Structure 1
Amino acid sequence: MHKLEQSVCDSLRDQADIFKNLSQGARQEVRTIDDVHTIRFNEFRKNVLTQNATIFQGLADVRQVVDAVNAKVDIMAKRVNDIQKDAEATKEALSHQLLEFQSSAQENHNVIMPS
């Protein structure tokens, strides 16, 4: 009976050692998997941040180009407005000169052709 009890105790100790080793191995594997996931997550995060920086730089470049184009459009709009004003002034001056010419022509006609 004593030998049987000793054998059961030895067997239980062996099982306890096996479970202890399995538990330690599982804990180590979980730590390793966690470390791998952390590394992968950090790489993913780094890639996302790099892509975001690239996108924001691209947007800044586009904004710069748009601002330059808008400035050119503003300059062209002012020039067109100035040309329109100049054309109106020229039109008015020509109309005035035409009226003066017609008036002068009428006077000359009246002088040449007495009534």
Structure 2
Amino acid sequence: LELEITSLAPTVFYQLREDIGISNINFRESFSKHHLKDFTNPGKSGSLMYKTYDDLFILKTLRAYEARLLMQILSGYHLQLTQRTTILNRYVGLYSIRFPAFISSVEIYFVIMVQR
């Protein structure tokens, strides 16, 4: 089954990861060797959630409007994370997935967060 994964705002998220001390090598390594661990307990949002094998990152599915909102606030969010002490979730990647083989291929969005 073929799929297309698109990194949204890759330059911004790359810089954000660097600014908070996450190297691109370490980031990729968390996803490259092992399966993700499902720990979904969908509440009202219905989001699916997964952890990387090393428990460093969480992947959470988003609705399209949530992904658009994150893109709209991204520059201010980046400043908030890097210049102030904050209790905000640390989002370090935003991606979309499509299955082009299907005529009505729906995009699935997910965000990657740092596990606290």
Q: TM-score, normalised by structure 1?
A: 0.15
Larger Rg: 1
Structure with the higher helix share, 1 or 2: 1
Q: Which has the higher contact order (CA 8 A, sep 6+)?
A: 2
TM-score using structure 2 length: 0.15
